[in-house]
A = this chain, B = another copy of it.
């Protein structure tokens, strides 16, 4: 059988994994490690898996992909069901297809979308905090949107990048940031004497949707952590401009927790 290059498109709950990238210690569970093991078990070959996005420990994905070369005579679209029987439930292959032998995830231009989910209320609701970060400080979404404006476009995002980065350049382009909010229903039994929810029992879901052509190490989480500080009133929206100009990780806000982050869309540009 001639060699084929296969693309597998994955979705995963990152809670129990130390991120995408395999660690030196093979006992540490990673998305890449689980995928490699499943492909090798299926094909009977040693394979080299080239991943697209190395998501951090605890980060989730609706779509992330990898490619590998194989001599196996398995129809390309059959890798998805065959690998799913070999993977833990927390990782699924949504689709598999053959790609050109020259296709390399590092060479293609892409547009990616991340969502950062925040639960803004006094007491966290347990069914919501696996995939959202809870904060009881009331966030002003208008201020967060003002701050976000400074980040859209092509900038040097060195201040919004983990200092341990190995990237050759810290210039990246954010094509859009949207911030949506919705009030979650308040169960009637929580209502106060006027038969309506008290201010302190209102719960809001805030979603930051960040779209860009590429992201640096921890970049979306640092953006989320910074905009949460702006929303809380600890920083001014226009401080975001100064932070960018500083080109210093110390200038921006904290790295928001990983569990609120999910890679939701991936588009390979022509």
Contacts and interface: CB of A to CB of B under 8 A. Distances in A.
Nearest to A12: B126
Contacts of A190: 9, 63, 94-95
A127 B60 contact: yes
B127 A13 contact: yes
Interface in A46-84: 60, 62-63, 65, 80, 84
Interface string A189-228: 1100000000001000000000000000000000000000
A187 B63 contact: yes
Interface residues of A, number: 38
Contacts of A114: none
Given A94-B201, A95-B201, A201-B94, A189 B126 contact: no
21 contacts: A9-B187, A9-B189, A9-B190, A11-B123, A12-B126, A13-B127, A60-B127, A63-B187, A63-B190, A80-B123, A89-B126, A92-B124, A95-B190, A111-B188, A127-B262, A130-B130, A187-B266, A188-B265, A188-B267, A189-B265, A189-B267
Interface of A: 9, 11-13, 60, 62-63, 65, 80, 84, 89-95, 111, 123-127, 129-131, 185, 187-190, 201, 262, 264-268
